[in-house]
Amino acid sequence: MPDDLNWAIGGEAGDGIDSTGKIFAQALSRAGRHVFTSKDFASRIRGGYTAYKVRTSVDRVESVVDRLDILIALTERTVEENMDELHDDSVIIYDGERTMMKDFEAPGEMTGLDVPLKRLAEEAGGAIVRNIVALGAACEVADFPIENLDESLEKRFGDKGSAIVDTNKQAARLGQDYVADEYGLDTGYELETTDSDYVLLNGDEAIGMGAIAAGCRFYSGYPITPATDVMEYLTGRIDQYGGKVVQAEDELSAINMALGAARAGARSMTATSGPGIDLMTETFGLIAQTETPLVICDVMRSGPSTGMPTKQEQGDLNMTLYGGHGEIPRFVVAPTTVAECFHKTIEAFNLAEKYQTPVYLVSDLAMAVTEQTYEPEQFDMDAVEIERGRVVDEDGIEEWTNEKGQFTPHAATDDGVSPRTFPGVEGGAHMTTGLEHDGLGRRTEDEQVRVEQVDKRNRKVETAREREDWSPREFGDPDSDNLVISWGSNEGAMLEALDFLEEEGVDVRFLSCPYIFPRENLAEDIREADEVIVVECNATGQWADVLEHDALERVKRINKYTGVRFKADELAERVKEELAGEPAEVEAE
Amino acid sequence: MSSDIRFTDFKSDAQPTWCPGCGDFGTMNGMMKALANTGNDPDNTFVVAGIGCSGKIGTYMHSYALHGVHGRALPVGTGVKMANPNLEVMVAGGDGDGYSIGAGHFVHAVRRNVDMTYIVMDNRIYGLTKGQFSPTSREDFETSTSPEGTKQQPVNPLALALSAGGTFIAQSFSSDSQRHTEIVQQAIEHDGFGFVNVYSPCVTFNDVDTYDYFRDTIVDLDETDHDPTDYDDAKEKILDADKEYQGVIYQDESSVGFEEREGLSESMADIPDGAPEDAMDLVREFY
């Protein structure tokens, strides 16, 4: 038996797939097991097939793999969709009394468990708890103590009253008993529990939590997959700290509201996905030109245009790096794990205010929908430091006023950072414009002032290069001649791929880059390695292009643009092929 | 706020580049007087403007101000007011800025009813791009981009505001300094979105909607038996295409600003040096 178990529930959209999966994932997490979840949608666009997958182990799990051990199939299509991941030892739980499943037979050597889910659910108190019966059955198959489900059920249904909770608990037990009595099978699984208390959250939630921790008070956004969870997380919660979420009429409004709040002194943020970033780009330039601190979060999905809204891609790198007319100083930060979504959000707010610059916080669909377990200490609130940069109050304003007593909000300083006052501060009244301006903030076309202001704004980036740490996260064998580089959410899959590769005697040094701009110059690392492979979820290799530009050296590329994230074993195989000089074609799922 | 504030305190020392005789001078002077008369001071006032001749206003006034991108001043004003409800927020725009590119934001700002004042300098022409027709230009108006006359109907901004649930809808004429100032003052004092469409003639490109035209045709609602709290009365005036009215056309006196309904009263600028004290509760939610 492998150390980890891969479990899934699949059916039609509306079958309660997500909530059932979440209940199971939380039960595992509370029982001290690590969990990594993924939401799976068909790569063929038809019908409403949806699945929630849970990978669990006592050790940390950082990615998905190409294997499915227990599948609750509410429809026959669920089995078809997952055929590639099913294997001879897989167990499929289904309801043979359901008309559409009555002729179902488990393929090959697989074990099919026909459990009358609906009938048992009705026995427990209502057909609606059908999925919970299936969960109970799955617990029996996996030898996972069913009591662990109880707390999850209480959390999920507690506000509907104890009768509902009891019905669910009963349903789970009926499912468990049915499998024990009718099949009495010993699959050999044993889902060991530990005393650890993990928290389970996804990337969007981690970004929202990071924002509150960082003192964000204003959020405006427009709903868009897969960024909406950030807004939903903040709604209600941010109010407890004196903040507010405003659902705007469109992305143009959202970013302009966020800009207004930032000018009024609030730590402010908006989040969207690629199509929304397109709309926001006009104001992105204004934010940089007016030197307004703002965090703009891009949770990427497949593009271009509306592309595949529920699919993974890292296709927006160039847009965040180069988007907008003219030349725009900016920071682009791309967290590499769910936990880093929290830490990098806090960092993004500090960068924005210290340098009075827009910050792109770039995440992606895979990270947004992945729930992963962490020790709560990973989110150490005591360690959060808030740096607001050069904010000037009544007492400090004189230092920044000219001989006529006018405040100079765009003074050209040595480090490029100007004084900033919040409205309400006496003597600080000033105009800010997207037009080129002088130190007072007034429009100018004076050649010398233009050059002075452009240089000043660009100098902020140079100052930040010197003052901050932009290094990548390093893993694997530091002395290896094989160098793999990735950015954003590929870190987990690559970390596990390192284990697979090590087993096969392949050593790799791995650099995972959270900073797109500014970034550490990897030219020396690239030149010193024999083989350099850049891994990313896009077709053209945008990060590889950037690194080639920096190092003036060609690099190899592993690209995936099927709409599905890298799986650890798949990635290991492709790294091996690249190192052996046999690049594989991109395979459709 | 200080009581000895004069309207000249809201004036910057920048020299306006508006054409001599432009209606925007009068519009701006009225805004400054209204701000002073209502007890505001420059350090607690935030003026937002978009693009066009109207967009220059922030430069000529002295206050906290932002000159943004075309048509998006209202969302900026919304963000400012939400983040610090103690500020007096004035948003200024033109007919192109507000009713063309910004028309969507206008409708939503009206329905949201944030407590700010929106002044539209309506000259029924695009001035800064040198004389193309605007959303409020009359049908058959001949301009450089409509040599045979526009084939588009003008928008009725007052009707848009009323249908979106506007709680304060007014119109003024920039050269009638006293009435314009009074009307803006009432808009500032209104608890909610105070919208004033200001006839602000363009002396360079519009030879139809001139000072003389407005002087001759305008009807002051104070000289009629108009009741601004009467919705039907207001609707009738707004849909009357044959007349140009001046005054408060509609006011819902029970209006409460969005930021107040959202429970906001303090500035969001003050935050602690670290995470909130109870922030670990946010983590524990994920057990």
**pLDDT category of residue B242 using cuts at 50, 70 and 90:** confident
Which strands sit side by side in the sheet containing A556-559, from one edge to the other? A473-476, A509-513, A482-487, A531-536, A556-559
User: Does the beta-carbon distance from B283 to A381 stay under 8 Å?
Assistant: yes
Q: Do B275 and A200 touch (CB under 8 A)?
A: no
Where would I find the H helices in A356-409?
Answer: 365-369
The reply to whether residue B79 touches residue A256, judged by beta carbons under 8 angstroms, is: yes
pLDDT of residue A583: 63
Angle at A270 between CA A464 and CA B192, to 5 degrees: 125
User: Is there a contact between A513 and A485 (Cβ–Cβ < 8 Å)?
Assistant: yes
Q: How far apart are CA B93 and CA A565, in angstroms?
A: 47
Kindly state the helix (H) or strand (E) to which residue B65 belongs, with its residue range. strand B64-67
DSSP secondary structure letter of residue A160:
G
Spatial neighbors of A456 by CB under 8 A, at least 6 apart, are A410, A412, A413, A416, A418
pLDDT tens string B112-148: 999 999 999 999 999 999 999 999 999 999 999 999 9
Q: Is B84 within 8 Å of chain A by CB?
A: yes
State the average pLDDT over residues A72-79. 95
**Structural contact between residues A138 and A93, judged by C-beta atoms closer than 8 angstroms:** yes
Contact A241, B62 (CB under 8 A): no
Of B82, B96, B85, the closest CA to residue B51 belongs to B96
Across the interface, whether the CB atoms of B80 and A197 are under 8 A apart is answered: no
Instruction: Please tell me the distance in Å from B217's CA to the nearest CA on chain A.
Output: 37
Q: Pick left, alpha or beta for residue B18 (phi over 0 → left; psi -120 to 50 → alpha; otherwise beta).
A: beta
List, as ranges, residues 213-252 from A with C-beta within 8 Å of B.
213-215, 217-218, 220, 237, 239, 241-244, 246, 248-250, 252
pLDDT of residue A188: 84
Which residue in A205, A213, A252 is closest to B72 by CB distance? A252
pLDDT at A184: 83
Run of H or E including B198: strand B194-199
pLDDT at A43: 46
- Please answer whether residues B130 and B117 qualify as being in contact, where contact means their C-beta atoms are separated by less than 8 angstroms: no
Q: What is the mean pLDDT of residues A104-115?
A: 96
Distance from CA of A26 to the nearest CA of B (A): 7
Q: Find where tokens 């055929």 sit.
A: A83
Nearest CA in chain B to A376: B283
Cα–Cα distance for residue pair B27/A305, rounded to 1 Å: 43
* B208: amino acid identity, one letter: V
CA distance A193 to A175: 21
Judge whether A71 and A78 are in contact, CB under 8 Å. yes
For position A589, what pLDDT does the model report? 45
Judge: B287–A254 Cβ closer than 8 Å, yes or no.
no
- Interface check for A434 against chain B (CB to CB < 8 A): the answer is yes
Alpha-carbon distance A275 to nearest alpha carbon in chain B (angstroms): 19
Closest approach of B251 to chain A, Cα-based (Å)? 25
Chain segment B260-281, per-residue pLDDT in tens: 999 999 999 999 999 999 999 9
C-beta neighbour count of B165 within 10 angstroms: 14
- A interface test, pick of B46, B57, B101, B271 with most A CB neighbours within 10 Å: B271
Strands A216-221 and A199-202: unpaired
Residue B35 in tokens:
């701000």
Q: How far apart are the first and last CA of chain A?
A: 26
Q: Are A171 and A137 in contact, with CB atoms under 8 Å apart?
A: no
> Which of A241, A261, A428 shows the shortest C-beta gap to B79?
A261
Q: Is A580 exposed, middle or buried (0-12, 13-18, 19+ CB in 10 A)?
A: exposed
Most B CBs within 10 Å: which of A433, A435, A438, as the mutation test of the B interface?
Answer: A433
- A435 touches B: beta carbon within 8 Å: yes
Inter-chain touch A215–B83, beta carbons under 8 Å? no
Is residue B9 predicted with pLDDT exceeding 50? yes
Strands lying side by side in the sheet with A34-41: A111-114, A86-94, A68-73, A5-12, A49-57, A34-41, A371-374, A199-202
User: Is B98 in the A-facing interface, judged by CB distances under 8 Å?
Assistant: no
The pairing of strands A509-513 and A473-476 is: antiparallel
* pLDDT at residue number A585: 55
CB contact (8 A) between residue B276 and residue A252: no
Give yes or no for B281 touching A (CB within 8 A). no
User: Residue A454: is it exposed, middle or buried by C-beta count within 10 angstroms (0-12/13-18/19+)?
Assistant: middle
Using one digit for the tens of pLDDT, what is the confidence trace for A471-514? 999 999 999 999 999 999 999 999 999 999 999 999 999 999 99
pLDDT of residue A586: 52
- The tokens describing B149, both together, are 């006359």
Q: Give the B window 13-52 contacts with A, CB below 8 Å.
A: 13-14, 42-46, 48
Predicted confidence (pLDDT) at residue A159 exceeds the cutoff of 80: yes
Number of inter-chain CB pairs under 8 A, A vs B: 213
Give the gap in angstroms from C-alpha B8 to the nearest C-alpha of chain A: 14
Residue with tokens 């530009």: A549
Report whether A320 contacts A362 (CB < 8 A): yes
Q: What are the tens digits of pLDDT across the range B156-180?
A: 999 999 999 999 999 999 999 999 9
Confidence category of residue A14, pLDDT binned at 50, 70, 90: confident
Per-residue pLDDT band at A584 (split at 50, 70, 90) = low
Question: Per-residue confidence at A2, pLDDT binned at 50, 70, 90?
Answer: low
pLDDT higher than 80, residue A101: yes
Residue numbers in B near A265 (CB within 8 A): 83-84, 267-269
The whole-angstrom separation of Cα B249 and Cα B266 is: 32
Instruction: Give me the residue from A253, A260, A433 closest to B80, CB to CB.
Output: A260
Q: How far apart are CA B105 and CA B202, in angstroms?
A: 25
Whether B11 and chain A come into contact, CB under 8 Å, resolves to no
Cβ neighbours around A156 below 10 Å, total: 18
Q: Do B79 and A385 touch (CB under 8 A)?
A: no
Determine, for residues B268 and A264 on separate chains, whether the beta-carbon distance falls below 8 Å.
Answer: yes
Position A84 scores a pLDDT of 94
pLDDT digits (tens, 9 = 90+) for A182-196: 998 888 888 999 999
* CA–CA dist A254, A247 (Å, integer): 7
d(CA A396, CA A425): 10
Q: Which of B62, B263, B271 sits opposite A429 (nearest CB)?
A: B62
Section A57-78 average pLDDT: 94
Decide if A512 contacts A522 (C-beta within 8 A): no
Candidates A257, A294, A350, A410, partner chain B, best to mutate (most B CBs within 10 A):
A257
Q: Is the pLDDT of residue A100 over 90?
A: no
Residues of chain B neighbouring A244 (CB-CB closer than 8 A): 82, 262, 264, 268
Indicate yes or no: CB of B276 within 8 angstroms of CB of A379. Answer: no
Q: Which of A256, A261, A386 sits opposite B72 (nearest CB)?
A: A256
